Structure formats: C-alpha cells, structure tokens
C-alpha cells in the first residue's frame, strides 16, 4: 500500500474493512460499548465505573459497591448507567466476565469450572447459562469450535 496513491490507499483500506466485516470466521474482540457522555462529569464517572468493573470483575461486585464508586444512589446509578450504555449494570458485568472467560478458555489449560470461578462466578450452572446467553453456545462447544 505504501506505493499506491492516497486515494488508492483509502480504497484499499475500505476493501480490507469490508472483508473483515463480512468474514464469517471473524471474532468480536469486545461486545462492551457505550455512548459517549456529553458532560465531562458523566464521562469521568463512567471511566471510574468501567475501571472499577475491569479491576474487580473476578470478585463479587454489588450494585451498592459500584454506585458508591459513581457517587450515586443505586437507583440513580441504574438510570445513569442504562442511559449511557443501553445495558443494565448486571448485564454489562456478565459481558465483561464472559469476555475474560473466553480469553481463558482459548489460552489456558484450566477446566471450565476453574475459569468460571476465576471470572467471578460462584455457581457453575449460572456461568453456563450466562455464557450461552451471551455467546450463543455453551463453554464446551466454544472450546471445540475454537480449537478446530
């Protein structure tokens, strides 16, 4: 691409992006997304909340804990969080935990139950239910598909 004219480079980039977006074997790296807040205080508050979640996802995280980080009451936090992420706090926490579980399932030799417990789940059946709800398949099938 470096030898191409700028317009041809741009078109090449668009072709690559199109190929990546339509590839059936693509892997979504992060399903966590949120709307950029308009107020700087809201942006700072969300950064603190996400930082807290990413640091503590492996341990029990309560709504009260995270609402204290945001300096809001639990009810106000739920409204604030849903407004900016379009997700409930518990759903986003599960997505973060499952994303980490997927990485461990791909990269480690630990059992599914060890990975579930290391990602903050205290109940294997709940982990399996959450995993299937988010990933569309149980963890065992995810491992088999990844290692094909």
Percent of the chain past pLDDT 70, that is, above it, reads 90
**What is the pLDDT at residue 95?**
95
Q: Does residue 73 fall inside a structural domain? A: yes
Whole-number Å distance between alpha carbons of 99 and 40: 28
**29-33, 62-66, 115-119: range with lowest mean pLDDT:** 29-33
CATH number (domain holding residue 57): 1.10.10.60
Alpha-carbon distances, residue 114 vs 38, 103, 111, 126, 146 (angstroms): 41, 13, 5, 14, 19
pLDDT tens figures, 94-107: 999 999 999 999 99
Q: Does residue 86 fall inside a structural domain? A: yes
Q: Does residue 65 fall inside a structural domain? A: yes
**Could you tell me the two tokens for 45?**
């508050």
Provide the number of structural domains found in the chain. 1
**What is the pLDDT at residue 34?**
47
Domain assignment of residue 126, given as a range: 40-146
pLDDT of 38 > 70? The answer is no
Whole-number Å distance between alpha carbons of 8 and 82: 42
Q: Does residue 29 fall inside a structural domain? A: no
Q: Does the reported pTM lie above 0.85?
A: no
**Could you tell me the two tokens for 79?**
């409204």
Q: Does residue 24 fall inside a structural domain? A: no
């Amino acid at each position: 691409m470096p030898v191409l004219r700028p317009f041809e480079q741009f078109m090449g980039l668009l072709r690559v992006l199109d190929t990546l977006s339509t590839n059936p074997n693509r892997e979504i790296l992060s399903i966590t997304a949120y709307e950029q807040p308009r107020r700087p205080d809201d942006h700072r508050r969300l950064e603190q909340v996400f930082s807290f979640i990413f640091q503590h996802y492996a341990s029990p995280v309560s709504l009260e804990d995270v609402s204290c980080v945001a300096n809001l009451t639990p009810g106000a936090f739920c409204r604030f969080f849903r407004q900016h992420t379009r997700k409930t706090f518990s759903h986003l926490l599960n997505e973060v935990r499952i994303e980490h579980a997927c990485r461990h399932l791909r990269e480690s030799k630990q059992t599914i139950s060890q990975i579930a417990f290391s990602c903050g789940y205290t109940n294997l059946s709940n982990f399996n239910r959450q995993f299937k709800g988010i990933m569309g398949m149980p963890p065992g099938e995810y491992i088999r598909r990844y290692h094909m």
